[in-house]
Amino acid sequence: MNSALGAGDEDVNPDGVASVMEKDVPEIFERCGRLIAERRENPTDDLTSVLVHAEIDGQQLEEHEIVMGFFLLVAAGNDSTKATYTSGMRALLENPDQMKMLVEDPSLIPGAVEEALRMYPAFAHFRRTATEDTEIGGQKIAEGDKVLMWYVSSNRDEDVYEDPDRFDVHRNPEHQAFGAGGRHFCLGTALARLELKILFEETLRRFPEMKPAGTPDPAVSAFLNQLKKLPVSW
């Protein structure tokens, strides 16, 4: 999954994007197909079994729908949380005064999670299709037009956030990291917040003296907003 989502990064995929599409993506689909077949015969209490045996208006999902749902959940549930966690830890390491506040008062961590989500949304953008004529910020949008939403930009909108490039654990902001509500709001929001809260709590409890130990290395991608490496010491 890392190679599929980070297809444009030479460190992740030295053989290039074509190799990912010819080898890695088909392998993911093949594994998913085997899992679907197994869950049809022997359902468990996992999410794949739910998808395999779900019915909509009396009809079960077709296999390609289950496969794409599986791919989406694995991608979103893996890269998203680790991306925001590592970037949030980088912000704390680069702002030791903010890190000290959390170490001394862990009740501030849920707000720090929201600030990390604001400044470091896992995915840089998504595209939507306009279902009717409308206008956004003075720009006319026609039905059928494609609209690209840059979360990394909206979450640092200077008209909304004071000093938007400053990491502030007291800010506890509203943000667009999970979407803007409605049908496209992130399915895993509650789980992501819980995971991030626990990750920050346990990291700061176990390694309160953690310090940077090198230059962070971001993934080369127009879509993924995450780090490949975050060197630290303690």
What is the mean predicted confidence (pLDDT) over 201-229? 91
**Residue located via tokens 């902001």:** 173
pLDDT bracket for residue 147 (50, 70, 90) = very high
CA–CA–CA angle 141, 152, 95 (5° rounding):
160
Return the HEC string of the chain.
CHHHHCCCCCCCCCCCHHHHHHHHHHHHHHHHHHHHHHHHHCCCCCHHHHHHHCEECCEECCHHHHHHHHHHHHHHHHHHHHHHHHHHHHHHHHCHHHHHHHHHCHHHHHHHHHHHHHHCCCECEEEEECCCCEEECCEEECCCCEEEEEHHHHCCCCCCCCCCCCCCCCCCCCCCCCCCCHHHCCCCHHHHHHHHHHHHHHHHHHCCCCEECCCCEECCCCCECCEEECCEEC
Measure the CA dihedral 176/178/179/180, to 10°. Answer: -70
pLDDT bracket for residue 102 (50, 70, 90) = very high
What is the mean predicted confidence (pLDDT) over 166-187? 88
Q: For residue 68, which of 22, 32, 108 has the smallest C-alpha distance?
A: 32
pLDDT higher than 70, residue 86: yes
| CA-based R_g, the chain, Å | 20
Alpha carbon 119 to chain centroid distance? 12
Task: Please report the pLDDT score of residue 13 as a whole number.
Answer: 65
Out of 13-17, 28-32, 81-85, 223-227, the most confident range is 81-85
Best CATH choice for the domain 2-233 from the list 3.50.50.60, 3.90.550.10, 1.20.120.350, 1.10.630.10: 1.10.630.10
More reliable by pLDDT, 26 or 97: 97
pLDDT bracket for residue 8 (50, 70, 90) = low
Structural contact between residues 119 and 171, judged by C-beta atoms closer than 8 angstroms: no
The domain segmentation of the chain, as residue ranges, is: 2-233
For the stretch 109-134, pLDDT in tens is 999 999 999 999 998 898 999 999 99
What is the mean predicted confidence (pLDDT) over 133-145? 95
pLDDT higher than 80, residue 17: no
Task: Please report the pLDDT score of residue 173 as a whole number.
Answer: 93
Structural contact between residues 146 and 113, judged by C-beta atoms closer than 8 angstroms: no
Residue 66, Cβ neighbours under 10 Å: how many? 20
19 — phi, psi (to 5°)?
A: -65, -40
The mean of the pLDDT values for the chain is 89
